[in-house]
Chain A
């Protein structure tokens, strides 16, 4: 570790960093704009100036930019030297020349990096006496608001958007003091990670348009540490609430998971919490199909309890409900009556994935480790749409191999522009095998498009090419074999080879092929990593809290006994064929549904109970990596809304049964669950400090110091200031009183530090800038390889796909906006959801006489869906693509064989 001298004191710093990183890591304050820990240095803004001295005799020094100067042994600098301070102040004065000073009406106000840096610089008097330049702003779509007059030209936005996110519709135009950051014309920012501009922009040029529609200052937001519920990756988030409206989502830094960024689904999907589809009160129906009648809590509970206590009860859990909810359901209905809520194919797949991750030797890759890979094979996933942040990590990883050339030239990794200059448009090995084109194809070394069986065959062939003992693929053919050889060579040549696969195509062959590739790599002496994408926020939870297949529940209900089914946060019409679900619900005498939003299954409920959304309750999830993570409630909802486990407890207690009556708070449930569920155990307790956790005797505060209106916000109801609502479930309070520095990395409700009101305060919570959070990154990895021998290869590779005469294999196509259930109810996000369609290959469209956007009739299990066609040139012949989860496609579950004809034709 080199030592540097800052203002006369010697400090040890990390090797290979620049001075700005070094002094920020030492928890000193130094202003910056164009630098960002994830973007590196370019030296544009000139804000981080310090005085550097040649040696101890040099008293004059010269001004250098800290971000562009290596923190090498013996570097001697002053941050506080008058010249350095004066220059930094002058840089702010320059930036303020054209800045509109509209803080009072600016959405960034109160969490603005420019405000923070201006204060820190000491600049407070305007000498510029001429007019300011002004710009025309653009409509950038439903997510991002554009206000160019505020721009200080730090170039972060275009660097983030183009270099990191891979977007190309945001650019910098014009020159000198008229530099303009925007699109070539008005229009929605196309990139799936555009929302990060809100946090990347150091001032109010790019702000959250959804927040704007129900605006609240950061200091007035009640926030909590949370986990994104909109895919299986489990990004860490900070939801913010005021007046019982969820206002926005910010990124919550987790070095091992999402780092500094979120996808747009994760950032803007939250509005479902405020949507009209929310269930906010219990209801009962006198008969099936009758209108739902709002019910008071006691009546609904009474009715549910009487149903439950008197009949055969089965429970259907959910991959989007918390572990606690699923566990509570399994507990009250009994293991034999518990169904995980997943259809057989998914239920088996997720357990197979758990086995593979647990047996090793390939380690389940965290998102950070995905970003560290230097050769990647993607088998059967359209990551940008199924696990967006994983696609983002892949986009960073593909630079790892070419970056080595820059390192060889002695260019430091933080010297971003110089590194990218050497890298140019070279990418490391990335092979993407998918049904049709994906948003990673532009950076892929090679792509392969085919039906699931052929994708699996490619995987098996790669494994065989790596290791002769791995089963060969029969009738592989020249094309498949040579591609497999190429992929094998790339993986073998890498330091950190990675295989990514997942459940998207619901193919066990693909998952097994992925495992074979990693096992073959291990035998070849490599240390491969593997990552499986899973569809929902707690799909992995179903591999731990195991239940039977959904189909088994359907079968059981046919046996004539009168069943009551409790359905937990699950719209069965999204899981199984619509006809089968209808039949099942018809066979059940009573249907109790617990959920936070209304849906087709809810419409059949005899009793409906309002469950808290992620923002209103606490719970635990397991992400695709096998990482257990806790989310905490940010808002204190209407008392009628509560966590599923509380409803289930109350039903049981009302019915006079025992066993759960001792559940007072979340820790009671998790404590029991951790002991009961194999694989959880003692380590699961480390997912978060218990509710009894205190720092200096205090709980953590969910509200900032400056939270306003405490004594006024309820004054329309009572002039007495009520005590803060109790929170028995977490070591956090619904109050501005409490400990504000996080204390434990799992319970940081907001990033704030004195002088640092923006998200950049994250610097103050990290061990070193860009590194792990102090105290370690939250989450507990449950799936570490058990150290046993390398398993023997899966042998049952599928035969090649054979198209059928007159039938097409309908395959799922995922959309970042629309395929996930909850976020589809978010107002802004819903504007980005495509209309339903059926995708056809050029050849198949031709033989069916279907043109682009013409109506096709798609018949699955005797149900007919009329859909406009979308001709995709890379759709495999003999297959059609059906978008997942879109309105109007309920009950159409893929893969499935279907008939397709031109509407009107027979």
Chain B
């Protein structure tokens, strides 16, 4: 089983140096691209590979690039931004890639930038990822010194500047348009689409924002081809995926596996099953902003379409497992507290609705819940769905709530009828 993204990452977690990366075949893809492939060739191979964005939305990456205006009439400069603002609760996959193999990300960025003919690129990094920052800055220095970044890369006519930008830190910055505003030094509020960033992004110029894991796949696709990438997978979606598990499992962790590996395999084989004395109740498959899956969904393959069919989203592919000794209402309250706090305050439903759900959940958890609170929570789930709010934050935020109300309804009712939390 191939693990292109992580195979070279050292067990002690120390980053691959430029030399080590090159020995493992690093920057060969870049050489190949600059010496014989045009930007459209890169776009084609990436589109043909079927690579879908690993940040959660799962949009075809090559397709996304094809919307960028090309040619001499295109606005300039164009920008490429690596979304390294990994703030989804329970998610820590990009961190591994950045800390363990920073050049893989850089090479992916250079290739992606080349494909859209961007001349300036940014890594928008989560504030708390101080080790990633250190590693990336060092790698950036090495790459620049070696001529992979800067003027006339590898003797070609292609120039690319690259900067590490450390976020001031808000969940909202992970949303691509919020990220762009933050990068411009504005409040991290989202922007309406259209226009899409491919047309009017950073400082109003064509921009591609791409997740770290997505970008890290690019060098391998360019080097080994679209078919190779497709063959990595077990399902309709191509490639491998970094899957993670946290919660009361025996071996919480992160694994690179063929995309389409089932939830059960992840949970039982890789995470080692539940810890002794704990029973499985459900899990959030792709971070905090995805719907719960329960026992009956365990054989779902973890790919974008299958998880959606099961009523949730693959999201970041890093699951949070709920056990029987943890109060589901408490867990959801914890999550809604997070989301309410991280709402940027731009649109009404999210700004006012999430704190309302948070207070209702707190009341229920504290033993002062009222029967009509359930209806109020359900109304919020309905009115905070996509299209009603400005961006995807609130619809994501109510996913654990709406599925929690469905799967753990009895637990909610017990809180209200007993006027206490049965777990306390």
Residues of A within 8 A of B (CB): 42-47, 49, 62-64, 68, 87, 90-91, 94-95, 97-98, 127-128, 130, 152-153, 155, 172, 174-179, 405-406, 409-411, 415, 417-418, 421-424
Residues of B within 8 A of A (CB): 170, 172, 187, 191-192, 194-195, 199-200, 203-204, 340-349, 351-356, 359, 363, 372, 376, 379, 383, 387-390
> Once the chains are docked, how many angstroms separate the CA of A418 from the CA of B352?
25
> Once the chains are docked, how many angstroms separate the CA of A595 from the CA of B92?
78
Inter-subunit contact A46/B390 (CB<8 Å): yes
Q: List 22 A-B contacts (CB under 8 A).
A: A42-B192, A43-B347, A46-B348, A46-B349, A64-B387, A87-B388, A94-B348, A94-B353, A97-B352, A130-B363, A153-B348, A172-B187, A176-B355, A178-B345, A179-B351, A410-B194, A411-B194, A421-B195, A421-B200, A421-B204, A422-B200, A423-B204
Inter-subunit contact A418/B355 (CB<8 Å): no
Choose one: B204, B348, B376; the contact of A127 (CB below 8 Å): B376
Inter-subunit contact B191/A153 (CB<8 Å): no
Residues in chain B near residue A174, CB distance under 8 A:
345
> Once the chains are docked, how many angstroms separate the CA of A127 from the CA of B376?
8
Given A127-B376, A409-B199, A418-B192, answer yes or no on A43-B348 (Cβ-Cβ < 8 Å): no
Choose one: A94, A178, A411; the contact of B195 (CB below 8 Å): A411
B365 CB to closest chain A CB (Å) equals: 14
B73 CB to closest chain A CB (Å) equals: 10
Q: Which 5 A-B pairs have the closest CB atoms?
A: A94-B352, A179-B345, A422-B204, A176-B343, A130-B359
Closest to A155 in B: B346
Which of B172, B348, B349, B354 has the most C-beta atoms of chain A within 10 angstroms of its own C-beta? B348
> Once the chains are docked, how many angstroms separate the CA of A406 from the CA of B205?
11
Closest to A425 in B: B203
Inter-subunit contact B343/A177 (CB<8 Å): yes
Inter-subunit contact B356/A418 (CB<8 Å): no
Closest to A41 in B: B192
B199 CB to closest chain A CB (Å) equals: 6
Closest to B339 in A: A176
Residues in chain A near residue B376, CB distance under 8 A:
127
Residues in chain A near residue B346, CB distance under 8 A:
44, 155
> Once the chains are docked, how many angstroms separate the CA of A449 from the CA of B346?
43
| A-B pairs with beta carbons under 8 A, tally | 109
A72 CB to closest chain B CB (Å) equals: 13
Choose one: A175, A411, A417; the contact of B345 (CB below 8 Å): A175
Inter-subunit contact A94/B379 (CB<8 Å): no
> Once the chains are docked, how many angstroms separate the CA of A421 from the CA of B341?
27
> Once the chains are docked, how many angstroms separate the CA of A536 from the CA of B372?
65
Residues in chain B near residue A172, CB distance under 8 A:
187
Residues in chain A near residue B340, CB distance under 8 A:
176-177
Closest to A68 in B: B192
Residues in chain B near residue A63, CB distance under 8 A:
387-388
Inter-subunit contact A46/B200 (CB<8 Å): no
> Once the chains are docked, how many angstroms separate the CA of A777 from the CA of B359?
52
> Once the chains are docked, how many angstroms separate the CA of A153 from the CA of B191?
17
A170 CB to closest chain B CB (Å) equals: 14
Given A46-B349, A90-B383, A127-B376, answer yes or no on A175-B390 (Cβ-Cβ < 8 Å): no
A128 CB to closest chain B CB (Å) equals: 6
Residues in chain B near residue A153, CB distance under 8 A:
345, 348, 351
Residues in chain B near residue A410, CB distance under 8 A:
194-195
Given A94-B348, A178-B345, answer yes or no on A418-B388 (Cβ-Cβ < 8 Å): no
A705 CB to closest chain B CB (Å) equals: 32
> Once the chains are docked, how many angstroms separate the CA of A409 from the CA of B204?
10
> Once the chains are docked, how many angstroms separate the CA of A68 from the CA of B170?
26
> Once the chains are docked, how many angstroms separate the CA of A47 from the CA of B388?
10
Inter-subunit contact B383/A87 (CB<8 Å): yes
> Once the chains are docked, how many angstroms separate the CA of A374 from the CA of B354?
45
Inter-subunit contact B204/A176 (CB<8 Å): no
Which of A49, A90, A98, A423 has the most C-beta atoms of chain B within 10 angstroms of its own C-beta? A90
Inter-subunit contact A177/B348 (CB<8 Å): no
A373 CB to closest chain B CB (Å) equals: 23
Given A417-B191, A418-B195, answer yes or no on A177-B200 (Cβ-Cβ < 8 Å): no
Residues in chain B near residue A44, CB distance under 8 A:
346-348, 390
Inter-subunit contact A43/B192 (CB<8 Å): yes
Residues in chain B near residue A45, CB distance under 8 A:
347-348
> Once the chains are docked, how many angstroms separate the CA of A87 from the CA of B390?
14
Closest to B383 in A: A90
> Once the chains are docked, how many angstroms separate the CA of A87 from the CA of B348?
12
Residues in chain A near residue B348, CB distance under 8 A:
44-47, 91, 94-95, 152-153
Given contacts A46-B389, A176-B342, 15 further A-B contacts (CB under 8 A): A43-B390, A44-B346, A45-B347, A90-B383, A94-B356, A95-B352, A130-B356, A153-B348, A172-B187, A175-B170, A175-B172, A176-B343, A177-B340, A410-B194, A417-B192
Choose one: B170, B200, B343, B349; the contact of A411 (CB below 8 Å): B200
Inter-subunit contact A409/B200 (CB<8 Å): yes
> Once the chains are docked, how many angstroms separate the CA of A44 from the CA of B204?
20
Closest to B201 in A: A421
Closest to A96 in B: B352
> Once the chains are docked, how many angstroms separate the CA of A900 from the CA of B68?
64
